Amino acid sequence: MRCRGFTLIELLVVIAIIAILAAILFPVFAKARAKARQTSCLSNLKQLANAMLQYAQDSDEGFPTHATQCSYGVTQSLQWFEQLQPYIKNTAVFQCPSAVQMDEWMGNCYGGQFGRPNYIVHYGYNVQIQEAPFRNWGDNGVWSMASHQRPAEVGLLADCFTTRWVSSPDPQSGISVMVAFANWTAGGAQDAFTCGCWPQITNLDLAIQKYTRHNGGSNIAFADGHAKWFPAAKTILACPGYSWQGTIRVSCDGMKQ
């Protein structure tokens, strides 16, 4: 008895069905991978925030502070991520799986200096807190946990394109550009920004499309230890510049989501 094989039409139909299914499923798989990386990053920030709180408990309730080579010419002050090492004992937790930069300034204002290891760090620490004792702005005691009446609104650490999260927002939208567009590379393409000390947004949709790390947004950890994701357009800084009126928060009214 002669066996009947597939006809060419039948094979083409099967191939077409497989192609259609692949076109449907591949974006779903990509979104699932992106969501998994977002969750992994969120876990990193929670661990870092908890390490900050442990550090504070051992340091008279003071968060890590340091004077940087960027602002003060100080060469031996330990960076915040170096100060957290006894509580973390892991350098991988400083790295976001969705970060496109491989160096991120190597975790220093001027990488490779001072004879200390260069960490790869993809998160920024609120410069208003970490440099408070060395600056003359608002309340210089904000490095202390006790100074924050609403710690759940105090932005501590976040996805960021530098390790120093300068809190000044985009002047038009109020968006924290350093956090919202953490995959922008300093000195890189200017197709969605104009660049001064930090970029100012010229094309919000393009910036969201090209430079956000996690599904159009970023992860942020707060001074009470919790962390959550915010869409880029909602990382609003209601307090311009360094005018914090005695209370350091990511926003005067709390983050808007």
The residue type at 45: L
- The H or E element spanning position 8 is helix 8-57
> Tens digits of per-residue pLDDT, 24-39?
766 655 677 878 899 9
pLDDT at residue 246 tops 50: no
**Domain boundaries of the chain, sorted by first residue:** 8-234
Using a pLDDT cut of 70, give the percent of the chain over it.
Answer: 73
Mean pLDDT of the chain: 79
**Whether the model pTM is above 0.75:** yes
Task: Identify the residue with better confidence: 103 or 94.
Answer: 94
> Tens digits of per-residue pLDDT, 159-178?
998 888 877 778 888 888 88
Check residue 3 and give its pLDDT.
59
Distance (Å) of CA 219 to CA 104, 163, 213? 17, 14, 9
State the residue for tokens 């001074």. 223
Check residue 162 and give its pLDDT.
83
Task: Identify the residue with better confidence: 117 or 246.
Answer: 117
